């Protein structure tokens, strides 16, 4: 009996399998890369027009978050500073650095390359349009920047530290005590509850027990400040 199939068909199933595998893998990889919600891409670290170094400004120079993100206590948005804020210092400090070129192009009218175009910072943390997150509601109730943005004070280049998924939001809304801290410490990103409690001895007014851990303090603050983090949809979606 003659060979019904030519010889080359012997490896055809293998070829098909490999092709399908590659195709499937590329779909999966492509989908993960492009279609993962922007709120959840942990580690996203784009390069910025000015390589602003948070570690330098906060930890070495001791600047407060609110010097630049000035409206975080008042508004839903934590604003990115206007060029004039940078210029307050940088008209005196390292004005001629190459890194500051975009700032001078935007603001320094005496600069030969001045074009008045504002600086376009690359957005890192992006919640979807149907999420109405409000910064002031959180920082005024004892939730620190660090809880969502990580230790920005140690970042030379800012990256996304936490996956801002809805489940992640709800984790905290269900158990806010894990993150509550005294209002004075909200912008102190090196805060440690145990150290703070060691310095500021606190006793629970009802049980009389000394507060020792973040959980103790968090539960106390939650009750003392009447914090009832909502879990219903309208809290964030409207």
Partner 1 sequence: MSKRVFHHPEVSADDSGVASWRSVGELERTPSFRAHVEREFPEGSGHLSPEDQKATRRSFMKLMGASSALSGLTLVSCRRPESYIVPYKKAPEWVIPGKPLYYASTRPRAEGSVPLVVTTYEGRPTTLAPNGDHNDGCGADALTQASVLNLYDPKRSRNFLRDGKKASQRDFEGVLGSLAREGAKLAVVVGEDDSPTRNRLRDEIVQAYPESKFYTYEALCGEARRRVQNEVFGEGSQTVVDFSKAERILSLDCDFLGVDPVGSASDFSRKRQGGGETYHQDVAADAMNRLYMVESVFSLTGGMADHRLRAKPSQMAAIAAQVAIGLGITVDGYDAGCLSDEEKAELLGTAATFDSWILECVADLKAHKGSAVVLAGSRHEEDLQRIVIAINREIGSYGGPMVVYETGRTGYGTIADFEADVDEETIVLLLGPSNPVYDRPGEQFRRGLSRSKLSIHLGVRTDATALACDWHIPAAHYLESWGDTRTATGTYSLTQPMILPLYGGFSELEILSQLLSWRQFDWDSLESEGAEEQVVPPTLIAGEGMGGAPSPALAEVRQTFSLPENANDDGDVAWKEALKGGYLQSSSYQTVDADGAGDPTPKLSSRENTGIEINLLPDASVWDGRYIDNGWLQEAPDPISKLSWDNAALVSPKTAKELGVYESVEQLEPETEIPLLGKVKNAPQPSIGEGKGAKAPMALIKTRSGRMEIPVLVAFGHADDCISIALGYGQGASDGRDGVRVVREEDPLATVSPVGINTGFNANQLRGDASFSIEAIEVTKTQGRYPVALVQEHNAMNGRALAREISTNDVEHHGHKVSFEDQVAKVREQGPVDSHAPENVSLYKRRGSTTWEGDKDKQDDLISDKIHQWGMTIDLNTCVGCNACLIACQAENNIPIVGKEQVAMGREMHWVRMDRYFASPMTEMDEKTHKKIATPDWVQQNPEMIPQPVSCMQCENAPCETVCPVNATVHSEEGLNTMAYNRCIGTRYCANNCPYKARRFNYFDYNKRNPLVAHNLYKGPFGKKQVGEAPHLQRNPNVSVRMRGVMEKCTYCVQRLESAKIKQKQIGRMKTLQAGRKSTDVQIKPEDLRVKADSIKVACQDACEANAVSFGNLLDKEDAQVWRAKYKGEKKTKSGAFELVHNPRNYDVLQYIGTAPRTSYLARVKNPNPTMPDAVYRGLATINTA
Binding residues for partner 1, rule: CB under 8 A, are: 30, 33-34, 38, 46, 71, 73-77, 79-84, 106-107, 116, 118-123, 126, 128-130, 132, 134, 136-137, 140-142, 182-184, 200, 202, 220-221, 224-226, 228, 230-234, 237-238
CA distances, 134 to each of 74, 79, 204 (Å):
10, 12, 30
Q: SS3 for 203?
A: strand
- Cβ proximity to partner 1: between 40 and 59 the closer is 40
Q: Please enumerate in sequence order all residues whose Cβ is within 8 A of that of 79, keeping only pairs 6 or more positions apart, or say none.
A: 69, 70, 71, 72
**In the complex, minimum distance from the CB of residue 89 to partner 1, in angstroms, rounded to a whole number:** 15
The terminus-to-terminus CA distance of the chain in angstroms comes to 74
Tokens linked to 101: 């070129």
**What is the dihedral sign for C-alpha 37, 42, 43, 46?**
positive
**In the complex, minimum distance from the CB of residue 121 to partner 1, in angstroms, rounded to a whole number:** 5
**In the complex, minimum distance from the CB of residue 12 to partner 1, in angstroms, rounded to a whole number:** 27
- Cβ proximity to partner 1: between 15 and 30 the closer is 30
- Cβ proximity to partner 1: between 44 and 150 the closer is 44
- Cβ proximity to partner 1: between 7 and 230 the closer is 230
**In the complex, minimum distance from the CB of residue 20 to partner 1, in angstroms, rounded to a whole number:** 19
Distance CA 238, CA 228 (A): 19
- Cβ proximity to partner 1: between 120 and 156 the closer is 120
Q: SS3 for 210?
A: strand
Q: Find residue 180's DSSP bridge partners.
A: 143
Provide the greatest CA pair distance for the chain. Answer: 96
Distance CA 46, CA 29 (A): 20
**In the complex, minimum distance from the CB of residue 15 to partner 1, in angstroms, rounded to a whole number:** 24
- Cβ proximity to partner 1: between 92 and 228 the closer is 228
Backbone angles phi, psi at 180, to 5 degrees: -75, 140
Distance CA 202, CA 216 (A): 10
- Cβ proximity to partner 1: between 3 and 232 the closer is 232
Q: Find residue 210's DSSP bridge partners.
A: 203
**In the complex, minimum distance from the CB of residue 141 to partner 1, in angstroms, rounded to a whole number:** 6
**In the complex, minimum distance from the CB of residue 98 to partner 1, in angstroms, rounded to a whole number:** 20
């Amino acid at each position: 009996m003659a060979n019904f199939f030519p010889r080359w068909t012997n490896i055809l199933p293998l070829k098909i399998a490999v092709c399908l595998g590659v195709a499937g893998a590329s779909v999966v990889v492509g989908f993960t890369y492009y279609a993962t919600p922007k709120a959840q891409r942990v580690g996203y670290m784009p390069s910025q027009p000015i390589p602003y170094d948070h570690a330098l400004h906060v930890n070495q120079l001791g600047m407060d978050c609110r010097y630049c993100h000035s409206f975080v206590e008042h508004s839903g948005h934590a604003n990115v500073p206007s060029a004039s804020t940078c210029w307050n210092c940088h008209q005196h400090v390292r004005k001629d650095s190459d890194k500051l070129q975009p700032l001078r192009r935007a603001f320094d009218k005496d600069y030969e390359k001045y074009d008045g175009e504002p600086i376009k910072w690359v957005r890192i943390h992006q919640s979807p349009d149907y999420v109405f997150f409000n910064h002031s509601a959180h920082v005024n109730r004892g939730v620190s920047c660090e809880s969502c943005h990580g230790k920005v004070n140690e970042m030379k280049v800012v990256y996304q530290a936490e996956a801002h998924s809805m489940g992640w939001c709800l984790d905290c809304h269900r158990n806010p005590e894990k993150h509550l801290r005294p209002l004075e410490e909200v912008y102190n990103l090196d805060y440690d509850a145990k150290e703070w409690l060691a310095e500021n001895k606190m006793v629970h007014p009802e049980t009389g027990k000394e507060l020792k851990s973040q959980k103790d303090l968090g539960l106390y603050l939650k009750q003392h400040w009447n914090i009832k983090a909502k879990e219903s949809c309208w809290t964030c979606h409207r």
